[in-house]
């Protein structure tokens, strides 16, 4: 048990979670009080002692599933979790044509019958039945064989393709409609749909868990944990984020901006002391008999910076630009004015989109669809875009303005137009360049970030949320 737990904790650390020695000891202490058979309680006990940040929860859960999925009452395996035995047992069942866990005799069913049972289970939200069905479905459709070097997603895809859950959703909706014998109102329709989608989502998770369980049994815990290892949300790279990761990034953005805004406001207030406040000092001196023993200072009000964001939104760096715009607008209260421009080879101002709406995602959507950023061929041309910027808006850069240039500086071998950046630097307070590419790629191929970089106050690598956050804090 101790071995297992220390392996588990090592894997958590590998996944990037900061687990300290005391927390490790706490976890050991905690599991003394919680029986391992109660899997949920066991999981929460470990989480309470080991995971101290909610955004790490998903990573924790994945590792937990891998390490402890073979253990638990419903899988009827002894505490030691003998994987070989488990596998053999599974083969046995396959041969005998006998599912377990309440699904006895399911093997003999035809696919239609199976779908019918599934439909009923989804309708009733019967968890135990769904689990049994998930096992059955994986057994039938996934075609898993020991030692086959394919990923879990492949099996998942195969299983889901055979089940056709999309059609299932429609069927379920049909039943709901029949139940009330007639038309559903729009509201009811929506609620029913959400309900069914929720059930189907649960069923999908059961299937995923089942596939994972079998893979773990086949390949062993360490190997599996390694393949499933995913970066924490703050370490996900903007340029390579999958759709799911983008979603979780978006979710992480909101609490982050709240934190950032609070921190910046606090920093501004406590930054330094202002000049002597004469009136207040005299007032306070009265309680010391007229001796100004307690000098009072004026509340410092440092000017908020003005921000101009100029972002490349061509394919490769679009996600990064969107993200930075979102972040900047979410904390725009910390700046006296924010103006934003987007370009590919032409340039367009998009400040208006953000002004007229409270909903940042709507504005971002308009940036993607409405902004006029194509001049010739829709390949990045920094030189031309910067020239346009300078001619149209250059005079509006003042000594309070901070200019942020976002992009990978992959210029498709066009003229660089770096004189614009040089001129900007003369007029603006600061000019910064944020590059979402890893530092080792800079100035390779058609990237000319170095050329621009010499004229800025600094080029920063912003590959993930953590780096972006650190930069924004420095900025305000």
Q: Does 183 help bind another protein (rule: CB under 8 A)?
A: no
Residue 252, Cα to own-chain centre: how many angstroms? Answer: 6
State both tokens at 365.
């959507």
User: Counting beta carbons within 10 angstroms of the beta carbon of residue 108, is it exposed (0 to 12), middle (13 to 18) or buried (19 or more)?
Assistant: exposed
**DSSP-derived secondary structure letter, 428:** S
CB of 262 to another protein, least distance (A): 5
Quick one: which of 1, 124, 150, 191 contacts another protein (CB under 8 A)?
Answer: 191
Longest dimension (CA), the chain: 98
Quick one: which of 12, 17, 51, 232 contacts another protein (CB under 8 A)?
Answer: 51
Per CB under 8 A, the segment of 82-90, 179-187, 438-446, 447-455 that binds another protein is 179-187
Residue closer to another protein (CB basis): 42 or 341: 42
Q: Which residues pair with 347 in a beta bridge?
A: 343
List Cβ neighbours of 219 (8 Å cut-off, separation of 6 or more): none
What count of residues does the chain have?
476
- From 321, 319, 271, select the one nearest 297 (Cα to Cα): 271
Per CB under 8 A, the segment of 45-53, 101-109, 143-151, 214-222 that binds another protein is 45-53
Residue closer to another protein (CB basis): 13 or 439: 13
Q: Does 182 help bind another protein (rule: CB under 8 A)?
A: no
Determine the Cα–Cα distance for residues 420 and 441; give it in Å rounded to an integer. Answer: 24
Element (H, E) at 178: helix 165-179
Q: Does 38 help bind another protein (rule: CB under 8 A)?
A: yes
Q: Does 185 help bind another protein (rule: CB under 8 A)?
A: yes
Determine the Cα–Cα distance for residues 231 and 56; give it in Å rounded to an integer. Answer: 10
Site string for another protein, 344-383 (x = CB under 8 A): -------------xxx-x----------------------
Determine the Cα–Cα distance for residues 401 and 315; give it in Å rounded to an integer. Answer: 28
Site string for another protein, 248-267 (x = CB under 8 A): -------x--xx--xx--x-
Q: Does 333 help bind another protein (rule: CB under 8 A)?
A: no
List of E strands, 273-429: 306-312, 337-343, 347-349, 401-406
Determine the Cα–Cα distance for residues 429 and 443; give it in Å rounded to an integer. Answer: 26
CB of 18 to another protein, least distance (A): 8
CB of 184 to another protein, least distance (A): 11
Residue closer to another protein (CB basis): 17 or 313: 17
Q: Does 181 help bind another protein (rule: CB under 8 A)?
A: no
CB of 294 to another protein, least distance (A): 17
**Gyration radius of the chain's alpha carbons:** 29
Q: Which residues pair with 340 in a beta bridge?
A: 309
Residue closer to another protein (CB basis): 195 or 461: 195
Residue closer to another protein (CB basis): 164 or 188: 188
Site string for another protein, 127-166 (x = CB under 8 A): ----------------------------------------
Q: Does 186 help bind another protein (rule: CB under 8 A)?
A: yes
Residue closer to another protein (CB basis): 287 or 361: 361
Q: List C-alpha distances in Å: 272 to 63, 267, 295.
A: 46, 9, 15
List Cβ neighbours of 227 (8 Å cut-off, separation of 6 or more): 151, 152
Residues 95, 257 contacting (CB under 8 angstroms):
no
Residue ranges of alpha helices (H) inside 51-82 are 57-68
**DSSP-derived secondary structure letter, 300:** P
CB of 24 to another protein, least distance (A): 11
Residue 165, Cα to own-chain centre: how many angstroms? Answer: 26
CB of 374 to another protein, least distance (A): 29
Q: Does 22 help bind another protein (rule: CB under 8 A)?
A: yes
Quick one: which of 45, 70, 168, 321 contacts another protein (CB under 8 A)?
Answer: 45
Q: Does 41 help bind another protein (rule: CB under 8 A)?
A: yes
Per CB under 8 A, the segment of 8-16, 24-32, 101-109, 229-237 that binds another protein is 24-32
Q: Does 124 help bind another protein (rule: CB under 8 A)?
A: no
Per CB under 8 A, the segment of 6-14, 46-54, 174-182, 215-223 that binds another protein is 46-54
CB of 47 to another protein, least distance (A): 7
Residue closer to another protein (CB basis): 317 or 327: 327
Determine the Cα–Cα distance for residues 31 and 43; give it in Å rounded to an integer. Answer: 10
- From 226, 209, 248, select the one nearest 69 (Cα to Cα): 209
Determine the Cα–Cα distance for residues 389 and 421; give it in Å rounded to an integer. Answer: 10
Quick one: which of 4, 5, 34, 83 contacts another protein (CB under 8 A)?
Answer: 34
Q: Does 198 help bind another protein (rule: CB under 8 A)?
A: yes
Residues 35, 79 contacting (CB under 8 angstroms):
no
Residues engaged in binding another protein (CB under 8 A): 18, 20, 22-23, 26, 29-30, 33-34, 38, 40-41, 44-45, 47-49, 51-54, 57, 185-187, 189-191, 194-195, 198, 255, 258-259, 262-263, 266, 357-359, 361
């Amino acid at each position: 048990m101790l071995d297992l737990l220390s392996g588990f904790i090592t894997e958590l650390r590998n996944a990037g979670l900061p687990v300290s020695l005391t927390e490790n000891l706490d976890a050991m202490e905690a599991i003394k009080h919680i029986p391992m058979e109660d899997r949920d309680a066991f999981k929460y006990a470990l989480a309470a002692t080991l995971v101290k940040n909610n955004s790490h929860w998903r990573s924790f859960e994945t590792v937990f599933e891998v390490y402890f999925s073979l253990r638990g009452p419903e899988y009827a395996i002894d505490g030691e979790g003998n994987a070989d035995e488990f596998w053999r047992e599974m083969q046995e069942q396959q041969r005998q044509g006998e599912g377990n866990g309440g699904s006895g005799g399911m093997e003999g069913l035809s696919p239609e019958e199976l779908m019918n049972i599934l439909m009923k289970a989804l309708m009733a939200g019967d968890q135990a039945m769904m689990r049994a069905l998930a096992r059955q479905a994986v057994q039938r459709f996934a075609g898993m064989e020991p030692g086959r070097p394919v990923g879990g997603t492949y099996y998942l895809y195969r299983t889901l393709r055979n089940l056709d859950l999309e059609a299932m959703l429609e069927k379920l909706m049909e039943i709901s409609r029949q139940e009330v014998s007639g038309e559903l109102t729009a509201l009811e329709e929506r609620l029913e749909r959400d309900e069914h989608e929720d059930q189907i989502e649960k069923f999908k998770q059961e299937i995923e868990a089942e596939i994972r369980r079998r893979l773990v049994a086949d390949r062993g815990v360490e190997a599996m944990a390694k393949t499933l290892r995913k970066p924490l949300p703050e370490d996900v790279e903007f340029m390579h984020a999958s759709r799911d990761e983008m979603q979780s990034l978006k979710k992480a953005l909101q609490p982050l901006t709240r934190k950032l805004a609070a921190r910046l406001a606090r920093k501004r207030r406590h930054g330094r002391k202002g000049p002597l406040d004469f009136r207040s000092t005299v007032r306070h001196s009265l309680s010391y008999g007229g001796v100004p023993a307690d000098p009072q200072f004026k509340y410092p009000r440092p000017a908020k910076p003005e921000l101009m964001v100029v972002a490349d939104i061509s394919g490769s760096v679009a996600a990064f630009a969107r993200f930075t715009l979102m972040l900047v607008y979410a904390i725009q209260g910390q700046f006296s004015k924010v103006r934003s421009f987007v370009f590919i080879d032409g340039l367009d101002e998009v400040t208006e989109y953000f002004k007229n709406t409270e909903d940042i995602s709507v504005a971002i959507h308009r940036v993607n669809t409405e902004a006029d950023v194509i001049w010739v061929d829709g390949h990045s041309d920094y030189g031309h875009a910067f020239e346009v910027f300078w001619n149209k808006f250059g005079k509006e850069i003042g000594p309070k303005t901070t200019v942020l240039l976002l992009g990978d500086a992959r210029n498709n071998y066009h003229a660089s137009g770096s004189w614009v950046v040089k001129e900007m630097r003369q007029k603006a307070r600061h000019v910064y360049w944020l590059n979402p590419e890893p530092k080792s790629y800079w100035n390779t191929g058609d990237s000319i970030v170095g050329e621009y970089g010499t004229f800025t106050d600094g080029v920063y690598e912003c590959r993930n949320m953590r780096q972006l956050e650190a930069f924004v804090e420095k900025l305000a």
